[in-house]
Amino acid sequence: MYFETQYINDHQMELNMGPQHPSTHGVLRFIAITDGELIQRVTPDVGYLHRSIEKIGEKVTYHGFMPYTDRVDYVSAMTANHAYARAVEKLIQLEVPKRAHYLRMLADELCRMASHLIALGTYPMDVGAVTPFVHALREREKINDLLEELCGARLTYNYMRIGGVSFDIPAGFDQKVLKFLQEFDVFLQEFDALLSHNTIFVHRVANLCPISKEEAIDFGLVGPNLRASGFYYDIRKEKPYACYEELNFNVPIGRGFKGVIGDAYDRYEVRIQELKESASMVRQIMQAMPEGDCHGKAPKNIRPPKGFVYESVESSRGELGFFIASDGQPNAYRIKVRSGSFAAISMIEHIAKNIYLADLVALIASLDLVAPEIDR
């Protein structure tokens, strides 16, 4: 790692934030050159959570890699499952039953809600309010209960299979989902009342570190962070996968709700609205769930033809894509994961200038960084 200590003058201090720090969301390190509390330059240092997931992908079979994709982004594991399954299905040109598509979308949207709840919960905690975090996690527990009924796991689901999903929905699942969604509407109103219009919170994050549309595109920002900058881009709309074109939903974009477009408050508000959209999508999916088989007809030993494939889905943190290079063997020649948090963290050095230390914490929280997704 390259340190810039040689540039420090007498008025500056090198402040080492992390790898162990309460608000770095995992194991993440920032080297800040500060003048007192004012940050002049901050350099992210990634790699503390590198687990060689891409390398493991070259050693295990295509079916066997599925549990590892959970660990790419353990806050939103379903979408990683989905992206990998889609990449392999495209590689071997496998048809997926419609019910499996719907179950995947159901799992994706529930998981997106859980992930956004973590993002929106840790955000106020980094700004100093603890109670909204606990309320958000309480709701996430209910989603975890639902997903546990669906696939047996609460964090690393390993739910999707190449060609389908592992289990059909259990009996009485739809009633439980609808009951949860009713409670969830009440929770969202409360959360708004508790936090969204709180004067201190708005003062803290409105106009903080705005990212313009051009900057966001230059740095390859994706997902809610990109949409908060006012750019309409959602893979579910642009390149509809699964059966997203059959659902009716809006893509919220940042409009400068309390400050300028693309500030930290917009990134908060866009996620709040995405929660509402996801909730309505889950309702639609439960209504339009088709009958049929949900298990795929994938061969036991996948030996795909030679070639490259790249498939991505809209994860909670934006585009999550798997690139697979195959040389005809039962395991991949190369697997590369493209993740949203990695683009977001490269943004920090560019925008975090002349802000306070407290603002850096709020900025990290607003970008919804998840350390394992950065390092993989």
Partner 1 sequence: MPLQFFTDPTYRENFFLYFPQVIPSLVIDFIALFVLIAIFFSGMIAPIAGLSVYIERRLSAKMQSRIGCNRLGPEGILQILADGIKLITKEDFMPKGADPFLFKIAPFFVMVGAFVSFAVIPFSSLFVLADLHVGVVFLLALSSVVVIGIMLAGWSSNNKWSILGSLRSAAQIVSYEIPLGLALLIPVLITGSMNLQEIGAFQKGGVNHWLIFFAGPFTIVAFFVYFISAIAEVNRTPFDLPEAESELVSGFHTEYSGIRWGLFFIGEYTNMFLISCIAVTIFLGGYHKSIANIPFVWITVYFSFFLLLHVLTFIPGMCKKMISGDSFLDVMMKNEPKALSRTSKMLCALISLFISVFLHRYHDESALIQTLVFISKSYFLVLIIMWLRWSLPRYRIDQLMDLCWKNLIPLSFLCVCGTMIWMVIT
Sites of contact with partner 1 (CB under 8 A)? 13, 15-16, 21-23, 36-37, 124-131, 134-135, 138, 186-187, 190, 193-195, 198-201, 203-204, 356-359, 361
Q: Which residues sit opposite 307 in a β-bridge? A: 326
* Min CB(321)–partner 1 separation in Å: 32
Q: Mention every residue, 6+ apart, whose C-beta is less than 8 A from residue 74.
A: 155, 156, 370, 372
* Min CB(200)–partner 1 separation in Å: 5
Q: What is the 3-state secondary structure (H, E, C) of 329-350?
A: CCECCEEEEECHHHHHHHHHHH
* Min CB(13)–partner 1 separation in Å: 7
CA atoms of 316 and 80, how far apart (whole Å): 10
Q: φ, ψ for residue 303 (rounded to 5)? A: -125, 85
* Min CB(266)–partner 1 separation in Å: 18
Q: Which residues sit opposite 13 in a β-bridge? A: 34
CA dist list (Å): 263 to 23, 207, 271, 334, 340? 20, 5, 13, 38, 18
* Min CB(203)–partner 1 separation in Å: 6
Nearest CB to partner 1, comparing residues 153 and 202: 202
Contact 106, 97 (CB under 8 A): no
Q: How many helices (H) and strands (E) does the chain have?
A: 14, 9
For the record, the structure tokens of 65 come out as 């890699």
How many C-beta neighbours within 10 Å does residue 178 have? 13
Nearest CB to partner 1, comparing residues 39 and 347: 39
* Min CB(327)–partner 1 separation in Å: 48
Nearest CB to partner 1, comparing residues 69 and 122: 122
Nearest CB to partner 1, comparing residues 14 and 174: 14
* Min CB(363)–partner 1 separation in Å: 12
Q: Mention every residue, 6+ apart, whose C-beta is less than 8 A from residue 82.
A: 104, 107, 108, 160, 242, 313
Nearest CB to partner 1, comparing residues 205 and 253: 205
